[in-house]
Amino acid sequence: MRISAIRARLAALGALPLHQERVLRDWVQGAAHERGRRPASDFLPKPVRAALPALDAELAALVRLVSRHPAADGSERLLLALGDGQMVETVLLPRDGVCVSSQVGCAVGCRFCMTGRDGLLRQVTSGEIVAQVVLARARRPVKKVVFMGMGEPSHNLDNVMEAIELLGTEAGIAHKNLVFSTVGDLRAFERLAEARVRPALALSLHSTRAALRAELLPRAPQLEPRDLAEHGERYARLSGYPVQYQWTLLEGVNDGPEELDGIVELLRGKYAILNMIPYNTVPELAYRRPSWERARDIAAGLRARGVLTTLRDSAGQEVDGGCGQLRARAQPARRI
């Protein structure tokens, strides 16, 4: 179910835009919103009031919790079933964040990612994206939503942008706390620049060498890292938020001196942050995680050379936490 379809249904029942917003706001703000507020039923046209119980039941059924996997770092991985039985992963992050999935599977096929191994199975609708946030909110406060779960958001732009608009207008989430994460796609840069709600941008870089990047991200648009950084810089200046460059640190692959020189050349002086995340080793894949000490030295070296660099673990990495692992185990690839 898409947000636009919900609006159309409400409009057909006589709901004006302010009525539609009220119904959607009550949904995305969850139980907390009800405290001390006039019930929506007092305010809405009668046919809309009559339809609300059925609509609420449909919205509640968009995602269903299958299993939860808490980790020592305060994060919690959730395996969720969609209405048709397909599954996605959502991660409750420490410090009031949630990481949502935008596709079942993914067409980019990054070599180090379990999600990419099955290709794209289907798009996640805007309703299902927002439902992940609603489910997260029922468990803990959510002030930040990152689109870094399963899928490539720029391959599902209509749904992702619809979800971002609702989250940025009715869910009380600051626009800079909505993070659109992409391997880089010209269509995405265009849409983000025009959007009513402009999220922060995360770009998956992983290498400054075009040939290695193409090998690691085989079906990402073949943008030169330099062009990618130029698009990123333009959007950062437009939105007012620095670009978050993502770098999965793979031992012996993208952690050598040549790469670090490339990072300094590409990012020094840019309105950008480099987020380094040591790879979470997955038994099924060939890549290895560098030691934490080595990763710390690399990050410190980059900082000393003028690149704002953070180092962090992927949330919940001790509980089969690499993107797509829970789903891969619970549900081997099933195309519909």
Task: Please identify every residue annotated as catalytic.
Answer: 89, 323
How many positions of this chain bind ligand SF4 (CB under 6 A)? 12
Distances (CA, A) of 6 to 40, 56, 63, 166, 183: 16, 11, 16, 12, 30
Nearer to ligand SF4, 220 or 295 (CB): 220
195, 192, 187: which is closest to 221 by C-alpha? 187
User: Considering the rule CB under 6 A, would residue 152 count as an interface residue with ligand SF4?
Assistant: yes
For residues 39 and 36, what is the distance between their CA atoms, to the nearest angstrom? 9
Nearer to ligand SF4, 24 or 323 (CB): 323
Please count the other Cβ atoms lying within 10 Å of the Cβ belonging to residue 131. Answer: 27
User: For the window 88-117, what string marks contact with ligand SF4 as x by the rule CB under 6 A?
Assistant: ------------------x-xxx--x-xx-
Q: Which H or E run contains 237?
A: helix 225-239
The token pair at 10 is 């409400």
Which residue type does 214 have?
A: A
151 scored as a contact of ligand SF4 (CB under 6 A): yes
Query: Tokens representing 299?
Result: 């990050």
Q: How far is the CB of 279 from ligand SF4 (least distance, A)?
A: 11
Query: Smallest gap, in angstroms, from Cβ of residue 101 to ligand SF4?
Result: 8
Q: How far is the CB of 205 from ligand SF4 (least distance, A)?
A: 12
- Torsion sign (Cα): 95, 145, 229, 153: positive
**Cα–Cα nearest to 307, from 247, 260, 264:** 264
115 or 309: whose CB is closer to ligand SF4? 115
Q: How far is the CB of 37 from ligand SF4 (least distance, A)?
A: 38
Residue with token string 């930040």: 144
Binding mask 314-333 for ligand SF4 (x = CB under 6 A): ---------x----------
User: Residue 115 or 126: which CB sits closer to ligand SF4?
Assistant: 115
Q: Which stretch binds ligand SF4 (CB under 6 A): 46-54, 146-154, 158-166, 167-175?
A: 146-154
- Give the residues lining the site for ligand SF4 (CB under 6 A): 106, 108-110, 113, 115-116, 150-152, 183, 323
